[in-house]
Amino acid sequence: MDNDMIVTSCEPEQAFAPVVPTVPVVPTAPVVPTAPVAPARPARPARPADVGGAAARAENAPPQQRTARHDLPGLFDRQLGIPGFGPQAQERLSRATVLVAGIGGLGGAAATYLAAAGVGRLVLVHPGVLEEPDLNRQTLMRPEWIGRSRVACAEQTLRAHHPGVEIVGYDRELADLPELGQLVAAADVVVDARHNFPDRYRLNDLCVATGTPAVIAAMNATEGNVLVVEPGTPCLRCVFSEGDPTWEPLGFTVLGAVSGLAGCLAAMESIKIIARFGEPASGRLLQYDLWDMDFRSMRVRSDPTCPSCARARARRQPEEPR
């Protein structure tokens, strides 16, 4: 995935100027802090119930969608004590469905950490078979699986590591998946890890139309982007009104650590939205370049001419009766 996006409508919200060290940055011995490096953060209040349609949908989900089947009682002990998290947040995760579109270096990392966190159901969509060059970043795959369906490989690894998670795989292009709209509508969050603009716009339009939160992640070489879209916040078309015409879907370079980081960030934003804890980065775009460890977070603006958002607004505000 993995597009080198060009920001067209953003304001810098927070940027970190490069720090020029005056001493070598590579330590010669393990650094053992003598005091806590960061004080414990105070507990944050849970997100209000009216933020994030995902959680509301999960609570109203029919019983068959409540798919948590974790048999190890201590499985989530290390995360239940996180301030603002707790059993309720865990239960929300266990009831949730996340659609992960693209199961390569980025989507595979996202799926890994969504499953590890206890998300109840993952829907994976990815076409094609595993090839040798995929193995520099796709940690759900094994060399002996070259030639097999990538989505089937991902299912096998995720099931082995996380048997309590229900996993549904589609070895299909998004454009060849007639039920895509239903899958998006039934998801609590969509992780967009595709590598081309047509797929990204297709997912974006479905998410905006159905009010499904989307976490859009991309990378190229050492750079990454993560955009979080919840109902009412700027969508992908608002921020990137047109795809890069020179973009070649598989023409970009990729280093596994870069795509893996974008996948982890996408998983974390999804978890926050579903579990209603922390502060999801809705309406913000994170851009990073690991070449020099530069991270920037920008608040993005809605585009009043965005056709996708205009259609959603029209649905929310039906015409007044005459």
C-alpha to C-alpha distance for 305 and 237, rounded to whole angstroms:
10
Query: At closest approach, how far in Å is the CB of 304 from Zn ion?
Result: 9
Query: At closest approach, how far in Å is the CB of 239 from Zn ion?
Result: 8
Contact 217, 261 (CB under 8 A): no
CB of 275 or CB of 312, closer to Zn ion: 312
Strands 189-192, 223-229: pairing is: unpaired
CB of 217 or CB of 238, closer to Zn ion: 238
CB of 114 or CB of 235, closer to Zn ion: 235
C-alpha to C-alpha distance for 6 and 244, rounded to whole angstroms:
8
Query: At closest approach, how far in Å is the CB of 105 from Zn ion?
Result: 27
Query: At closest approach, how far in Å is the CB of 3 from Zn ion?
Result: 17
- Which residues of the shown chain bind Zn ion in the complex (CB under 5 A)? 235, 237-238, 306, 308-309
CB within 8 Å of 48: residues ≥ 6 apart: none
Q: Mapping DSSP to helix (H, G, I), strand (E, B) and coil, where does residue 121 land?
A: strand
CB within 8 Å of 231: residues ≥ 6 apart: 53, 208, 211, 213, 312
CB of 190 or CB of 235, closer to Zn ion: 235
CB of 172 or CB of 313, closer to Zn ion: 313
- Phi and psi angles of residue 307, each rounded to the nearest 5 degrees, phi first: -65, -35
- Using alpha carbons, select from 111, 88, 85 the residue that is nearest to residue 165: 111
- Strands of the sheet with 189-192, listed across from one edge: 10-15, 294-300, 284-289, 223-229, 214-220, 189-192, 97-101, 121-125, 166-170
CB of 126 or CB of 202, closer to Zn ion: 202
Query: At closest approach, how far in Å is the CB of 292 from Zn ion?
Result: 32
CB of 138 or CB of 204, closer to Zn ion: 204
CB within 8 Å of 258: residues ≥ 6 apart: 219, 221, 222, 223, 224, 290
